[in-house]
Structure 1
């Protein structure tokens, strides 16, 4: 098939520089913002998505099915379709897991617009799905310990004037693994490739067996990339990120016990979300990645 844009180039253009919630700028889209309490993924875009809006809308059902089939055939994963976002010569389909693992990821459906109806070619960014699955596996394996992480996040919102991201915004914009309103888990695919392969060979393995795979690695967060990042937003509309709040949350985090092994970070944002990328407006205040992360062993 003679695609309008070579697949690998398309991925680089669409996904380059993406984070947990990716949204590249579209020159035709105004930079609108929302309060975090009101943000549900509205206005989320990828670069030059306006050029394929109509064709993506007209073929949304077929694009969604292509993404589902890709995940099933290549990863044996049943997924929910959360968002179909027009992009440069393609649609980025945001999906979430249906089964025991909880994670978000994305699939890229490139469009051959020289054909009528358009032909699809479906793929994913390198290691994107693998990272998401391992992230979900880690949360699944340490479910009891992560209940303590959840309790910590709840305590933070009760003591300080901060909130998390809406569930709907997470569904519409996330693609990086396990994500909830207050924190997300990111891993290095190279560091956990063996666990990923063993799980894919036997996806019906028990929680005990999956946990055993992680325990066998004797994870040291200083050596292996396994990040748990807290992300809070100031609750008062229009408020800017507060350094005092961030510092106090960091100090509280340093005193916790019983958390899963990992390198922990704290990011506190103001109340405003930039619609087009789903990110907090301006810089966050908190820990500096790789500089003062809090390693829990």
Structure 2
């Protein structure tokens, strides 16, 4: 039931922000290696030092052409997804640059786009793209967050209270803005979809009217058709003091609270407890000291 995480986060699609296998060739690859000097205080980490595999050679080109890249990415999201975005970070990857964005307004989500850079350091602004399913999943999770705004507000309160009682904190807002691609979430958790039918329906409806209100979404989407076991809500908490480590007793108490609390968003809840540090290069907190309750033993909360 409770176990230490010995391989980083093995189920990457669920537990590292919806990264699919195609992400690897485009530089969105986050490996957790045993490099102690890379781990810094999560309380102070704002994304400094974050990098993508084999992206160093494109970092300078991306930064030198930041204005051009920002303009192209904003145009891409408006044309492809009818969405205004704010750009926070541009990081070189093996084929170009990955651009980390946050949606403006609702539904709210974090995601990214890829801008290719050729062998002559030319920015291919006419070839901006997203990887298959990445933005779609992010938008769907944002819609889910909007539909169950009240339930997620309660989840926020519950997690904050648990964190206070057991000596945990979340990631900084700046770290999320500069490194996250997980869709809907907060400093403490994020939401991703394994139910492709529900995700596709939300995406199609969103493209028809991105300004759909919470009340309209509630009429459009039938909650009974969303599989809670395929709606992953991943909670990640960090110890609030250097040198402190999470314990099985703390995990048991947090799990018990989640199991007994009513009125939370439906979904499969995965809980990861970390020490006080995060890998500055990958933005991941998982390491030998991490303990978790997660797939295939998630906490299932069904629709009320």
Q: Which of the five TM-score ranges fits, normalised by the shorter chain?
A: 0.7 to 0.9
Give the conservation status (yes or no) of the 8 Å contact 2:27–2:54.
no
Q: Give the Å deviation of 1:24.
A: 5.1
Pairing 1:184-263 to 2, within 5 Å after superposition: 184-188=190-194, 190-192=196-198, 193-215=200-222, 217-222=224-229, 225-263=230-268
Gaps of 5+ in 2: 1-20
Q: Give the Å deviation of 1:199.
A: 2.0
**Residue in 2 aligned with 1:3?**
none
Match of 2:106 among 100, 109, 114: 100
**Residue in 1 aligned with 2:276?**
271
Q: Distance in 2 between matches of 1:262 and 1:130?
A: 19
Aligned length: 279
Q: Give the Å deviation of 1:53.
A: 1.9
Q: Call closer, same or farther: CA 1:44–1:114 in 2, change over 3 Å.
A: same
Q: Secondary structure at the match of 1:45?
A: coil
Match of 1:78 among 68, 84, 95: 84
**Residue in 1 aligned with 2:141?**
135
Q: Give the Å deviation of 1:230.
A: 1.2
Q: Secondary structure at the match of 1:55?
A: helix
Pairing 1:91-170 to 2, within 5 Å after superposition: 91-114=97-120, 117-120=122-125, 121-170=127-176
Q: Call closer, same or farther: CA 1:216–1:92 in 2, change over 3 Å.
A: same
Q: Distance in 1 between matches of 2:50 and 2:234?
A: 22
Q: Give the Å deviation of 1:251.
A: 0.8
Q: Distance in 2 between matches of 1:288 and 1:144?
A: 25
Deviations 1:1-42 (A, max 9, x none): xxxxxxxx98541256x5xxxx3589xx99522111111111
Which stretch shifts more, 286-295 or 155-164? Answer: 286-295
Q: Give the Å deviation of 1:207.
A: 1.3
Whether 2:177 is the aligned partner of 1:174: answer: no
Q: TM-score, length-normalised on structure 1?
A: 0.87
Give the conservation status (yes or no) of the 8 Å contact 2:109–2:184.
yes
Give the conservation status (yes or no) of the 8 Å contact 2:269–2:301.
yes
Match of 1:53 among 55, 59, 65: 59
Gaps of 5+ in 1: 1-8
Whether 2:39 is the aligned partner of 1:33: answer: yes
Whether 2:81 is the aligned partner of 1:69: answer: no
Q: TM-score, length-normalised on structure 2?
A: 0.85
Q: Give the Å deviation of 1:269.
A: 0.7
**Residue in 2 aligned with 1:6?**
none
Give the conservation status (yes or no) of the 8 Å contact 1:14–1:24.
no
Deviations 1:85-113 (A, max 9, x none): 11113100000000221100000001123
Q: Give the Å deviation of 1:296.
A: 3.1
Q: Distance in 2 between matches of 1:64 and 1:179?
A: 23
Q: Call closer, same or farther: CA 1:220–1:49 in 2, change over 3 Å.
A: closer
Which structure has more relative contact order (CA 8 Å, sep 6+)? It is: 2
